[in-house]
Amino acid sequence: MTIPTLAPDIYVQEVASGARPIGAVGTSTAAFVGRAPNLKAFVNEPRALNNWSEFLREFGGENPKSTDLSHAIFGFFQNGGTRCFAVNIGEAKTLGTGLAALESLDEVAIVAAPGFCDAMSYQDVFAHCEKMLDRVAIFDPPEVVTKIDALIEPAVAVKEGAKPSTGLRPPMSDKGLGAFYFPRIMVRDPLSDSTDPVTVPPSGHMAGVWARTDATRGVHKAPANEPIRGALNVTRRITRAEQGVLNPAGVNCIRFFPAEGIRVWGARTIAAEASEWRYLNVRRLFNMIEESIAKGTRWVVFEPNDRPLWRDITRDVSAFLRTLWRDGALMGRTPEEAFFVKCDDETNPQESIDQGRVIIQIGIAPVKPAEFIIFRIGQHSGGVEIQA
C-alpha cells in the first residue's frame, strides 16, 4: 500500500519481509475403521479420540465386549499414540462407507481396518490411500496361516463355492502406501477380568509404535527394532530363514527374541523390492514433506509470477528442508548434498507463465535404514582383525 506524501512529515509504513516459515505437518494421527462394541454408536461417523476412556464413553455401551477395533484403539494408546479417529461401521459387511467418511480429514496420516484381512478389504483400504495420497495403511495378517509362502502371493476374491485363493497378503503398491505385518500377537483383554491372553491383529499396536517413534526420533526413523508394549507372545515364532523369504516380499515380521522380547523386525512397505518406495520411513517422510510444503506455500497462489516470487519460494522451501537436514532426516554432509530447490527462468519459461503456472523442482536425499549389518572379520598374524 502506498502512503500519500503530500505534506512534509515523517511517515511510517509496515512492510512484510523475511521468510514465511513452513511447519512440518503431523504424521502420527491414526484412523481405525471397524466394528465397535456398541454396533449402533456413531455409525460411519468419525470420532476424534485422545485416550482409551473416550473410546469407551463413545463406543462402549453397557457391558462392552472387546472387538478387533477396541483392541486396536487400546494398543494404539498403550504404545504411545496420542490422537486417533474411530469409525464404527456397525453391521456393514464392507469398509467402503466408513473409509469414505475419512476423506474429509486432512489430519489423518495412518489408516487401518483391524481384523479385516480378505481381498476386498485390502483393496478398499488400498484404494482409499491411493486416492488420498497423504496417508499410509497398516494391513493385518489372517488369523490362520499354514504356509509361509502364502504370504508372498496377493489375496484375490473368488466366487462363493469356488476354490479359495491361496494368497494371503495385500497387493503390491507402486507408491508404497501400505505396510503389512505378520504374525498376530497375544495380549491381555482390557475389557475382561480373565488372565488368559487373547489373539489380536497387530495394526493398532503398530500404529502406536509409529506414533511413538515419530515423537521420540522423527518420521525419518524407521519404526522397527522397537518393543511392542502389551504384547505377551506371538502366534508364530518366525525364524531367520523364514524372514529371509518374507522380507523381500515386503512382509514385516514381529519376532520374539530371548533377550529382547517381542520386537518389530521389519521396516518395509508393500512396494516391490526394486522400488524407491520400499522403505516405510522414506514413504512417510515424503508424505510429510509434500503436505508441509503444499500447506506452507499456499500464500503463493495469485501472487505476481516473476523473479521476486521465485526467490521467495526458493528461500522458504530451502529453509524448511535445511531444518530437516539438521534433524537428521536428509542424507549429506552439507545442505547442498542433502537437497536442492530450483525455481528460475529455466523451470518457468514464458509459456508456463502465460498458463499461470509456477514450477519448482525439488530434489531430496532421504536417509534409509541400516537394514543389513555386515561385519567382515579376517585373521592376521597379530590376532583377529575386525572391519566394520
Q: Where are the beta strands (DSSP E) in 110-244?
A: 110-112, 136-139, 178-182, 185-187, 198-200, 233-234
Instruction: Inform me whether the pLDDT recorded for 84 exceeds 80.
Output: yes
pTM above 0.85, yes or no: yes
Is the Cβ–Cβ distance between 98 and 145 less than 8 Å?
no
* Region of residue 250 (left: phi > 0; alpha: psi -120 to 50; beta: else): left
Q: Are 31 and 111 in contact (CB under 8 A)?
A: yes
Considering the domain architecture, whether residues 134 and 183 belong to the same structural domain is answered as yes
Tell me: do 279 and 308 sit in the same domain.
Answer: no
What is the C-alpha end-to-end distance of the chain, expressed in Å? Answer: 63
Asked whether residue 288 is domain-assigned, the answer is: no
pLDDT digits (tens, 9 = 90+) for 103-122: 999 999 999 999 999 999 99
pLDDT above 70 covers what percent of the chain? 95
Predicted confidence (pLDDT) per residue in 257-270, tens digit = 999 999 999 999 99
pLDDT reported for residue 13: 73
Q: Band the pLDDT of 308: cuts 50, 70, 90.
A: very high
pLDDT at 12: 77
387 pLDDT above the threshold of 70 = no
> Phi/psi of residue 206, each to 5°?
-70, -40
Tell me what pLDDT residue 61 has. Answer: 84
- Region 45-52: mean pLDDT is 96
Average pLDDT over every residue of 227-244: 95
**Banded model confidence at residue 19, pLDDT cuts 50, 70, 90:** confident
Q: How many structural domains compose the chain?
A: 2
3-class secondary-structure state, position 313: helix
Average pLDDT over residues 134-148: 94
Query: How high is the pLDDT of residue 375?
Result: 82
- For residue 17, pLDDT over 70 is answered with no
CA dist 281 → 57, 177, 222 (Å): 34, 11, 5
Q: What is the pLDDT of residues 162-175, one digit of tens each?
A: 676 788 889 998 99
One domain, residues 112 and 251: yes
- On whether both 222 and 364 belong to a single domain, the answer is no
Q: Read off the pLDDT of residues 315-360 as tens digits, 9 standing for 90 and up.
A: 999 999 999 999 999 999 999 999 999 999 999 999 999 999 999 9
Sheet strands (E) in the chain: 30-34, 47-49, 84-88, 110-112, 136-139, 178-182, 185-187, 198-200, 233-234, 251-257, 261-265, 339-342, 361-364, 376-380, 383-387
| Whole-number pLDDT of residue 382 | 63
In a domain, 22, yes or no: no
Beta-bridged to residue 385, according to DSSP, are 378
Percent of the chain's residues with pLDDT above 90: 80
> What pLDDT was estimated at residue 223?
96
Which whole number is the average pLDDT over 18-27? 87
In a domain, 239, yes or no: yes
- Helices and strands: H and E segment counts in the chain: 10, 15
Domain endpoint, select from 283, 318, 343: 283
Question: Are residues 213 and 113 located together in one domain of the fold?
Answer: yes
DSSP one-letter string for 97-139: HHHHTTTT-TT--EEE-TT--SHHHHHHHHHHHHHH-S-EEEE
Q: What is the pLDDT of residues 272-304, one digit of tens each?
A: 988 999 999 999 999 999 999 999 999 999 999
pLDDT the model gives residue 386 = 53
Looking at residue 159, its pLDDT comes to 75
The mean of the pLDDT values for the chain is 92
Classify residue 158: in a domain, yes or no: yes
Greatest C-alpha distance within the chain: 93
- What's the CA gap between 317 and 319, in Å, rounded? 5
**Which one of 283, 316, 336 terminates a domain?**
283
Q: In whole angstroms, give the CA distance from residue 172 to residue 298.
A: 33
pLDDT at 64 over 70: yes
Residue 47 pLDDT more than 60?
yes
On whether residue 12 sits in a domain, the answer given is no
Whether 312 and 249 map to the same domain: the answer is no
Which range has the worst mean pLDDT, 4-13, 50-59, 184-193?
4-13
User: Where residue 159 sits, what CATH number does that domain have?
Assistant: 3.40.50.11780
Q: Is the pLDDT of residue 384 over 60?
A: no
**Is residue 35 in some structural domain?**
yes
In a domain, 226, yes or no: yes
| One domain for residues 308 and 254 | no
**Same domain assignment for residues 143 and 269:** yes
Which residue range(s) make up the domain with 376?
Answer: 300-388
Q: Do 376 and 269 belong to one domain?
A: no
Domain stops at, among 283, 314, 330: 283
Same domain for 215 and 128: yes
Find cell 516470487 and name the residue.
309
Distances (CA, A) of 21 to 80, 153, 293, 316, 341: 28, 46, 10, 6, 16
Query: Are residues 310 and 271 part of one domain?
Result: no
**Confidence category of residue 14, pLDDT binned at 50, 70, 90:** confident
Q: Is the pLDDT of residue 161 over 70?
A: no
Same domain, 207 and 70: yes
- Find out whether 201 and 114 touch, Cβ atoms under 8 Å: yes
Task: Give domain status of residue 8, yes or no.
Answer: no
